[in-house]
Chains A and B, each alone.
Chain A
Amino acid sequence: AQSVTQLGSHVSVSEGALVLLRCNYSSSVPPYLFWYVQYPNQGLQLLLKYTSAATLVKGINGFEAEFKKSETSFHLTKPSAHMSDAAEYFCAVSDPGAGNNRKLIWGLGTSLAVNP
């Protein structure tokens, strides 16, 4: 069965510092992987996705993630944190067993705080 583990439920960085949010997955087949961001009292917004093309994926707001099959990881990074990056971040993996209409399986989320 597919699963996603996000290491660290809370991450705190200083403004301008590197952001690293960790995500590991388990999958018996090559997965599709996603990072979503959720700002307070809002829905989820797709940051970036990996769908078996380039392993280094660039997303919105300066974020990027690298798919590492050997480590079953898809960590999210941003070189320099901005105050507006404070939010909840979710890693998700698609379930390949449902044909074209794949559902997403979600991690528990990582809350990112950015300190001035």
Chain B
Amino acid sequence: DAGVTQSPTHLIKTRGQQVTLRCSPKSGHDTVSWYQQALGQGPQFIFQYYEEEERQRGNFPDRFSGHQFPNYSSELNVNALLLGDSALYLCASSLTGLAYEQYFGPGTRLTVT
């Protein structure tokens, strides 16, 4: 049973660029949540997708957007990258109704220079 997978593992971008991160949920899961984890900090909730729609959103600007596909996989897009966007981006999947029981992928380490 494949767990949550994320790609790429590492990414280096320049300020002002755009980036897309990808996530495939655990088999059988239909809800995907995205988190940003800055160095030495806890995860910060970005948003959650279910049935291809954004259901909840944390305190992140509109530069952060996402998408969920019919196969439940998801993308996180960040436009106009800032140095402060450098972080580990974590994807978590869960089953509707049990969205608090989340399974995490290994993360994508984004460095903005």
Interface residues, chain A, CB within 8 Å of chain B?
32, 34, 36, 41-46, 49, 51, 90, 94, 98, 100-109
Asked if B25 lies at the interface with its beta carbon under 8 angstroms from chain A, I say no
- Tell me if A100 and B96 are in contact (CB < 8 A): yes
15 residue pairs bridging A and B, Cβ less than 8 Å apart: A34-B100, A41-B106, A43-B104, A43-B106, A100-B98, A101-B31, A101-B48, A101-B50, A101-B56, A101-B99, A104-B43, A105-B45, A107-B42, A109-B41, A109-B42
Interface of B is mostly: loop
State how many angstroms separate the Cβ of B51 from the closest Cβ of chain A.
10
Q: Inside 8 A of A98's CB, which chain B residues have their CB?
A: 55-56
With A43-B90, A44-B43, A101-B56 as known contacts, state yes or no: A32 contacts B100, CB within 8 Å: yes
Q: Inside 8 A of B33's CB, which chain A residues have their CB?
A: 103
- Tell me if B96 and A104 are in contact (CB < 8 A): no
1/0 per residue, CB under 8 A from A, across B66-108: the answer is 0000000000000000000000001010001111111111110
Closest to B55 in A: A101
Chain B CB within 10 A, most for which of A51, A101, A106, A108: A101
A101 to B103, CA, bound (A): 14
State how many angstroms separate the Cβ of B88 from the closest Cβ of chain A.
9
State how many angstroms separate the Cβ of A29 from the closest Cβ of chain B.
13
1/0 per residue, CB under 8 A from A, across B19-42: the answer is 000000000000101000000111
State how many angstroms separate the Cβ of A62 from the closest Cβ of chain B.
21
For A106, give its contact among B42, B56, B98 (CB under 8 Å): B42
For A90, give its contact among B42, B55, B101, B106 (CB under 8 Å): B42
Q: Inside 8 A of A101's CB, which chain B residues have their CB?
A: 31, 48, 50, 55-56, 96-97, 99
For A100, give its contact among B97, B104, B106 (CB under 8 Å): B97
For B4, give its contact among A34, A41, A43, A108 (CB under 8 Å): A43
Q: Inside 8 A of B104's CB, which chain A residues have their CB?
A: 36, 43-45
